[in-house]
Amino acid sequence: MYKQNNKTPLGKSKHFTQAILTYFRILKESFNFAINALINHKFRSFLSLLGITIGIFSVILVLAGVDSLKQEIEGSLSGIDKNTVIVMRFPFTPTDIPQWKWQQFPDVTYDEYRSIKRNTPNLEAATFVMQVPLKIIKTDHASASNVNIASITYEYADIEELKIAQGRFFTESESDRGSTLIVIGDEIANSLFGSAKQAIGRKVKLYGRKFTVIGVLKKEGAALGDYSKDNFVLILTNFARKIYGDNNRTTFPRIIIKPKKGIDMAEFRAILTQRFRLMRGLKPDNVDTFFVNQMKGVTDVVDNITSTLNQVGLLISSFSLLVGGFGIANIMFMSVKERTNLIGIQKSLGAKNKFILLQFLFEAVILAIIGGLIGIFLVFSVFWLASQLTGEFEFILSSANILIGTVVSLVIGLISGILPAVSASRLNPVEAIRKGM
């Protein structure tokens, strides 16, 4: 009778298949033992779950919270190109010039805006903006209080992506005349007229004058706190100049410049800086009395802040994870001690070391993963509740953060369970039975 030689390819393949099936059987039996152990010791399992749940909850809450904040800020800035330049007396980023000194710098002027617009190469659009105090806007039958007012020139729509839901934007001639026209946000339109469609052509009272509504901005939702275009109205700079003058430092005048695409930004900023120096008659040894701020600097600052928040939050959360990991390890060592007799019996009946090791390792990993999933669910619940309460702010729990939470749970389970599992697998069966008795 022919006998298969294990050294042949067919024999090796058969031996490999049997080994794989054996390992799967061991994994299945170890998994079942681990599940039964967790069910039979519910209170102990609950205590272990509590520690790892709090740890994973803290980690995911930090990651998701910072991601939500970052997206909210970036969403607020998304309508403006990162190459957009804002010239004003304030810096956007840290500077070597002392604060007391740059606070004395003169504001940019309307004449400087017009000169820059005419004489700067590679400039696509420029607008002169003044921020004026909050005001009450009234109609004959309604009013809206604490309204944010921005005075702009007609080019503003070419720089920031303004979406007009109803009506139109300002024209060049209206901008030059400083006409009493107004573009209002969606919330203002609803407060005063009931809807955006009913606002066009209607009159509102502001600064003791009657303004005609020519446009309503598309609903945006909350951006940063109350800073939303829904609660904004836009009037023309040349009208605001008549009210506040050209030397009112509370209006924070600024020139917003959009360069053409594909140009060398360093060169563009250098030319812009030189033109301002010439207009202000600054000597070579004089410092700039203005700041050429680029929106990219703002986004870089946002990235640095969110990165720091992530690092600090994760450092604090890691202590919770550490406590959770120690909790699992402690419970597993107790489990090994309580089941010493059972381990001895299993080994005396032929259970291999790897079977015992996997049994306890599975128990630790399952505990950690269940705790992690509960932690992720709690974060989701907290974010859902927060979204309902805030109404506008969008909290994000991304799939990447869920994956991070699951993987971290798995790793914590492996690290916490490896030592108890190894100690259990190395028990001598005779001594284990004797100790258990």
Strand spans (E) along 139-260: 143-152, 164-167, 181-184, 203-206, 209-217, 232-236, 254-259
Beta-bridge mates of residue 217 = 164
What are the domain boundaries of the chain?
A: 29-74+302-436, 106-289
Which two tokens mark 19?
């080994």
Across the chain, mean pLDDT equals 80
pLDDT of 4 above 70:
no
Share of the chain above pLDDT 70, in %: 78
Better-predicted residue by pLDDT, 137 or 392: 137
pLDDT of 169 above 90:
yes
Distance of CA 12 to the CA centre of its chain: 54
Nearest-10 Cα torsion for 243, 245, 249, 250: 0
CB atoms within 10 A of CB 423: 16
Determine the residue type at 403.
L
Distances (CA, A) of 73 to 66, 86, 222, 380: 11, 18, 11, 21
Beta-bridge mates of residue 203 = 212
pLDDT of 56 above 90:
no
Q: Residue 427: how many CA atoms within 13 Å on its side-chain side? A: 31
Beta-bridge mates of residue 181 = 212
167 φ/ψ sector (left φ>0, alpha ψ -120 to 50, else beta):
left
- What pLDDT does 2 receive? 44
**Contacts (Cβ under 8 Å, ≥6 apart) of 191:** 142, 143, 144
pLDDT of 146 above 90:
no
The secondary structure element, H or E, covering residue 336 is helix 295-338
- What pLDDT does 175 receive? 94
What are phi and psi for residue 328, nearest 5 degrees? -65, -45
- What pLDDT does 393 receive? 58
Give the length of the chain: 437
- What pLDDT does 1 receive? 44
Tens of pLDDT, residue by residue over 69-98, are: 766 665 555 555 678 899 999 887 778 888
- What pLDDT does 108 receive? 94
Helix and strand counts by DSSP (H, E) for the chain: 14, 10
Q: 234 near 135, Cβ under 8 Å?
A: no
- What pLDDT does 153 receive? 95
- What pLDDT does 114 receive? 93
Alpha-carbon distance of 333 to 155, in angstroms, equals 71
Share of the chain above pLDDT 90, in %: 25
The secondary structure element, H or E, covering residue 87 is strand 85-88
Tens of pLDDT, residue by residue over 174-186, are: 999 999 999 999 9
Strand spans (E) along 187-283: 203-206, 209-217, 232-236, 254-259
Beta-bridge mates of residue 233 = 149, 184
- What pLDDT does 301 receive? 64
Better-predicted residue by pLDDT, 53 or 198: 198
- What pLDDT does 300 receive? 65
- What pLDDT does 437 receive? 54
Distance of CA 398 to the CA centre of its chain: 10
Tens of pLDDT, residue by residue over 225-264, are: 455 788 889 999 999 999 998 888 888 899 999 999 888 9
Q: 204 near 211, Cβ under 8 Å?
A: yes
Tens of pLDDT, residue by residue over 312-371, are: 767 776 777 777 777 777 777 777 777 677 777 777 777 777 777 777 787 778 778 888
- What pLDDT does 222 receive? 56
**Contacts (Cβ under 8 Å, ≥6 apart) of 240:** 130, 132, 151, 178, 251
